[in-house]
């Protein structure tokens, strides 16, 4: 998560995208999905289509069957069953700021992914939405759907000092946080999820129930006078934390997900007493929401959970956590990054004094391998207790984002990352040097990390004397990953369903990857 004070820059940490879980996007979540585990990624795989892209931010949500990945140039790469359509992870749909009419050099810096609508924030303070807008959850006049990213103009546009820096989204609402620390809400007032003090619940024709709608977005009055620095939303509830570390919760309170010791919906932001003590270090630093739970990471980086977060035992439907509690197995862990998915929970924590990172996950009812525990015979898909994600040992995970049926990890390149399998595992490529078109006495070929085309060491320009250490890409893939969108020509990427077209592999003189053939 990012707070309102953080600015994107060229120095922002970047990494490669790894994915585990269900990648059959059209059938994820359906009972008629077919044989269990067929096609699911039971351990993290490097996403081949983005392996040459330097990525800085992962965006998905506990109800989202899709993801948005932002790269160092501020382009958004979308894949899965998104509000814009179905896009394979083998060929993500790229959306640039220029494609919506923003000036050259503009970047996407943040976003939110709900079940059927999504939002993107640009570095000039604008917010753009697409997808389901039946109750005005995009902050636009209600309509069935918005089929392309469209700018949302809220009350913040009247303040020259205010710009949107963060957004969050639930099933039928969205929140907008400005640089001045104000929170605005749009969509349905059901269960108090807009924090405006009312629901407007009423009977409609046919016995249906209706609720008041807020369009355009309206200031959340209960937070007036507080400078909010971060927000998070579940399906029907939200959390916010202010600059002093005070945490506020509102919306649907089923399973005590608000952590306020009861199941009474809160129609306005309500202070969580647990994080309002005189010791500033025990207050909140970061907030997260799952579908039926809430998480606060305090200023000591301790992890606190409330609500329903598993299927059996303490913390389940019959025994939800009515207030925020530590999870015993990770009480001594310093939380670096955290994320809540449909039924999964993740943290990263220091593994050693040398700066190594351990990735820990847990969750019950995992069906798609989204915990990434591995594919061994003794490895299950679920874990009721926090456990290290063993396939990620030695991998420097700098961010994690859990979706409804899958998980993304952002990993800084290192030697161990080279051992992570790729997805898809293989792509069509030639068996001769792409430059000289020969085997040349079976000399070793090096391969591009992405397209797997082979090259002789001395056919590379400039020639190589040895197989290079670390990552290595051919000229087409290298250029694709290092060229800003304003200079890269067509938005479509060279990978078409995991394969490169002949026109893109002809007359190339250049690089390769460190693997031998």
Residue 493 has a pLDDT of: 35
pTM of the predicted protein model: 0.91
Q: What is the mean pLDDT of the chain?
A: 90
Confidence of residue 207 (pLDDT cuts 50, 70, 90): confident
Residue 94 reports pLDDT greater than 80: yes
Contacts of 155 (CB under 8 A, 6+ apart): 184, 216, 217, 218, 219
What are the residue ranges of CATH 2.130.10.30 in the chain?
A: 16-423
Q: 427-517 domain in CATH 3.40.50.150? A: no
Whole-number Å distance between alpha carbons of 206 and 457: 73
Contact 229, 181 (CB under 8 A): yes
Residue 191 has a pLDDT of: 97
CA 398 to chain centroid, in Å, comes to 12
pLDDT digits (tens, 9 = 90+) for 358-372: 999 999 999 999 999
Q: Are strands 41-47 and 16-21 parallel, antiparallel or unpaired?
A: antiparallel
Nearest one of 68, 88, 72 to 123, comparing CA atoms: 72
Contact 405, 417 (CB under 8 A): no
Residue 503 has a pLDDT of: 32
pLDDT digits (tens, 9 = 90+) for 249-272: 999 999 999 999 999 999 999 999
What CATH fold (topology level) applies to the domain 16-423?
Methylamine Dehydrogenase; Chain H (2.130.10)
Whole-number Å distance between alpha carbons of 72 and 69: 10
Angle subtended at Cα 252 by Cα 209 and Cα 255, rounded to the nearest 5 degrees: 120
In whole angstroms, how far apart are CA 232 and each of 29, 50, 166, 240? 24, 27, 9, 6
Half-sphere exposure of 467 (CA within 13 A, CB side): 16
What is the number of other CB atoms lying within 10 angstroms of the CB of residue 399? Answer: 22
Contact 460, 511 (CB under 8 A): yes
Confidence of residue 488 (pLDDT cuts 50, 70, 90): low
Confidence of residue 508 (pLDDT cuts 50, 70, 90): very low
Residue 413 reports pLDDT greater than 50: yes
Residue 490 has a pLDDT of: 43
What are the residue ranges of CATH 3.30.40.10 in the chain?
A: 427-517
Residue 494 has a pLDDT of: 33
Contact 320, 372 (CB under 8 A): no
Confidence of residue 9 (pLDDT cuts 50, 70, 90): very low
Residue 37 has a pLDDT of: 56
Whole-number Å distance between alpha carbons of 77 and 70: 6
| 463 class by beta-carbon count within 10 Å (0-12 exposed, 13-18 middle, 19+ buried) | exposed
Bridge partners, 338 (sequence order): 347
Whole-number Å distance between alpha carbons of 452 and 170: 41
Q: Which two structure tokens, joined as six digits, stand for 51?
A: 């392996």
Please count the helices (runs of H) and the strands (runs of E) in the chain: 2, 36
Whole-number Å distance between alpha carbons of 509 and 442: 20
Contacts of 1 (CB under 8 A, 6+ apart): 230, 232, 286, 287, 288, 338
For residues 68-75, give the mean pLDDT: 98
């Amino acid at each position: 998560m990012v707070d309102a004070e953080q600015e994107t820059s060229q120095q922002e940490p970047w990494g490669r995208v790894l994915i585990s879980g269900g990648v059959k996007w059209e059938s994820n979540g359906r009972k008629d999905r077919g044989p269990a585990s067929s096609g699911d990624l039971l351990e993290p795989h490097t996403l081949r289509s983005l392996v040459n892209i330097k990525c800085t931010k992962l965006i998905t949500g506990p109800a989202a069957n899709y993801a948005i990945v932002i790269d160092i140039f501020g382009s958004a790469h979308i894949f899965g069953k998104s509000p814009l359509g179905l896009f394979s992870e083998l060929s993500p749909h790229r959306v640039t700021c220029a494609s919506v009419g923003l000036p050259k050099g503009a970047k996407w810096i943040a976003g939110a992914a709900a079940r059927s609508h999504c939002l993107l924030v640009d570095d000039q303070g604008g917010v753009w939405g697409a997808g389901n807008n039946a109750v005005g959850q995009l902050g636009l006049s209600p309509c069935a759907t918005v089929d392309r990213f469209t700018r949302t103009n809220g009350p913040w546009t009247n303040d020259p000092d205010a710009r949107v820096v963060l957004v969050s989204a639930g099933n039928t609402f969205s929140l907008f946080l400005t640089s001045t620390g104000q929170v605005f809400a749009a969509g349905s007032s059901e269960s108090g999820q807009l924090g405006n003090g009312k629901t407007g619940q009423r009977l409609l024709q046919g016995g249906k129930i209706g609720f008041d709608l807020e369009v355009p977005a309206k200031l959340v009055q209960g937070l007036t006078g507080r400078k909010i620095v971060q927000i998070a939303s579940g399906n029907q509830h939200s959390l916010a934390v202010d600059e002093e570390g005070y945490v506020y919760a509102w919306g649907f309170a089923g399973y005590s997900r608000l952590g306020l010791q009861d199941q009474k919906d809160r129609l306005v932001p309500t202070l969580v007493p647990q994080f309002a003590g005189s010791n500033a270090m025990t207050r909140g630093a970061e907030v997260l929401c799952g579908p039926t739970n809430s998480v606060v990471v305090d200023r000591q980086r301790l992890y606190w959970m409330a609500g329903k977060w598993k299927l059996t035992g303490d913390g389940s439907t019959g025994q939800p956590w009515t207030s925020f509690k530590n999870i015993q197995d990770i009480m001594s862990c310093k939380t670096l990054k955290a994320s809540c998915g449909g039924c999964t929970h993740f943290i990263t924590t220091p593994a050693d004094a040398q700066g190594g990172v351990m990735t820990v996950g847990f969750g019950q009812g995992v069906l798609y391998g989204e915990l990434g525990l591995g594919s061994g015979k003794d490895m299950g898909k679920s874990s009721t207790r926090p456990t290290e994600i063993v396939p990620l040992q030695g991998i420097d995970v700098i961010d994690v984002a859990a979706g409804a049926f899958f998980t993304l990890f952002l990993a800084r390149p290192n030697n161990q990352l080279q051992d992570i399998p790729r997805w898809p595992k293989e792509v069509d490529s030639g068996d001769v040097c792409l430059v000289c078109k020969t085997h040349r006495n079976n000399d070793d070929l090096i391969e591009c990390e992405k397209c797997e085309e082979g090259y002789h060491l001395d056919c590379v320009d400039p020639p190589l004397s040895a197989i290079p250490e670390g990552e290595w890409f051919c000229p087409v893939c290298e250029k694709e990953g290092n060229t800003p969108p304003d200079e890269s020509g067509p938005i479509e990427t060279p990978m078409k369903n995991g394969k490169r077209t002949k026109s893109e592999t002809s007359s190339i003189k250049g690089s390769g990857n460190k693997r031998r053939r």
